Amino acid sequence: MSDDLSSKPGVARRDAIKALAMLPLAAAWEFSTPQLARAATVFSPEFAADVAGTPYAPKFFTAREFKAVGVLADMIIPADDRSGSATDAKVPAYIDWLMADSETSRDDRTSMRGGLAWLDLQASVRFGKAFVTASDAERRQILDEIAWPKKAKPEMGPGVEFFNNFRDLTASGFFSTELGYKDVRFVGSTFNPGYNGCPPEAMAKLGVSPDVMKTRVKPE
């Protein structure tokens, strides 16, 4: 997404504003269940088994919701010349798996569904379409108004809360996969016989030196 907000945002009618205020969004989505709070863990064997076959059948989302989850996740992490997209990494399936888990609270599920409904209502008010059937430019117009909390208008608060938490889930899911590892060029516990310490330019940027670092090592 561009960092520029649209110069001509869609005009919401008064009745639509009322509808937005009445949405059962539980706007302050704070991941009340431990499983969602620690969603940055590596995909579990149980999840891997669930998505081993194709196509994946969502257990929590409706077909329409699941499509929206995929569209939104791929807008957050699209495919590029370095790696695949969020859907390539089966992130929508992972989010569905988390939502369907017995330990996930009803509040978290309501917040997820409410957030997707909020996007649909915004798209309907502005463009007369569902979020997934809106054009890429139209979807970005909505997201540009909620993706940066400090720039967002107060009335966009519900969307800001939802999008930022959805983005966290998308990122934690993606970077827990092989695609994500490769994207950040993570090599794990690979032995490097030629390692000579932190490069001088990096030390300079941090404002430290080898001598300073030695003073932080407690003597045995």
pLDDT digits (tens, 9 = 90+) for 157-178: 999 999 999 998 998 888 887 7
Q: Does the residue 104 lie in any domain?
A: yes
Total number of domains in the chain: 1
> Quick one: pLDDT at residue 214?
62
Q: Model confidence over 23-55: pLDDT tens digits?
A: 433 333 444 444 444 443 445 555 555 556 667
Q: Does the residue 76 lie in any domain?
A: yes
Q: Does the residue 220 lie in any domain?
A: no
Q: Does the residue 67 lie in any domain?
A: yes
Q: Model confidence over 73-129: pLDDT tens digits?
A: 999 999 988 888 999 888 999 999 899 988 888 999 999 999 999 999 999 999 999
d(CA 13, CA 16) in angstroms, rounded, equals 5
Res. 131: pLDDT tops 80: yes
d(CA 218, CA 220) in angstroms, rounded, equals 6
- Higher pLDDT, residue 156 or 217: 156
> Quick one: pLDDT at residue 178?
74
CA dihedral (152, 129, 77, 137) in degrees, to 10, reads: -70
d(CA 169, CA 178) in angstroms, rounded, equals 16
State the residue range of the domain holding 84: 14-215
Confidence of residue 183 (pLDDT cuts 50, 70, 90): confident
Q: Does the residue 58 lie in any domain?
A: yes
Q: Does the residue 2 lie in any domain?
A: no
Q: Which two tokens stand for residue 219?
A: 């003597």
d(CA 85, CA 194) in angstroms, rounded, equals 34
Q: Does the residue 109 lie in any domain?
A: yes
CB 123 within 8 A of CB 48: no
Would you say the pTM of this structure is higher than 0.75? no
Q: Does the residue 7 lie in any domain?
A: no
193, amino acid identity: P
d(CA 177, CA 188) in angstroms, rounded, equals 13
Average pLDDT over residues 187-196: 73
> Quick one: pLDDT at residue 7?
35
Report helix, strand or coil for 173.
Answer: helix
